[in-house]
Amino acid sequence: MKIKRQFFDYDVSLSYVYGLDDLPVACRAVITATENLGEVDIYTELLYPKRHIAGFDVAGALGEIGIWGEAALFMSEEVRLLTDLSALGMGVEETIALEDRSYVKFLLGADYTFRNGFYINMQYLHGFVHERGRANLEDYLLVGTELRLLNDRIKIVPVAGAVTVTDFSDIANNYAVVYAPEISYRPIDNAELTCGTRLIQGSNNTVFGRLKDNDEVYFKVKYSF
């Protein structure tokens, strides 16, 4: 359900969702030994937790600066993980895979276009799409820029990416930086050629940092019929 109104040139809405989480959670794992010494097989059962989500968002402008904000209260059912180690002589262990405690994710953003056409967008995000639970929500600063030339035939994205710090008392071991510049060219109206790169650096204590060995360069061709 969603209710949307406009107040003083600001678009405001309230929303509510009751449904299943988009990402599953492990609820049962059976661990058995294989013929190879030191190797085990793991059989896992997953379920999609039920959850309530109450949301609020607002969008408008302060002068020539666009601003917006979103927040959502998540209330998930508790999911317990049963780990069956009977085949290894250690019985069955029960742990909580997902707590039923509520938590809030939110986003604050702003954008601005300079007179020369240079566009900048900045957003502060608390809680990425895959993160669940109060203790597991990280903070991200997302940045995007764009410059269009020759009647929009060339689009340059010199600065784009994200920065996250999970512990400001020990930044060296709890940070990640993603840098993703890009350039696009439209030789004709229906076609677009894009070349870009994605560079990641950071510590293994962050989600992005664990992907630091997956830097890439890409080339895309898009044609619209």
R_g over Cα of the chain: 23
Minimum mean pLDDT range among 36-40, 159-163, 212-216: 36-40
State the pLDDT at residue 90: 84
Q: Is-contact 176 163, C-beta < 8 A?
A: yes
**Which residues 6+ apart lie within 8 Å of 66 measured at CB?**
59, 60, 110, 111, 112
Q: Which of 10-14, 18-22, 55-59, 95-99 has the lowest mean pLDDT?
A: 95-99
Give the mean pLDDT of 15-44.
90
pLDDT at 116: 85
All residues at 6 or more sequence positions from 211 whose CB lies less than 8 Å from its CB, including other chains = 200
Mean of all residue pLDDT scores within the chain: 91
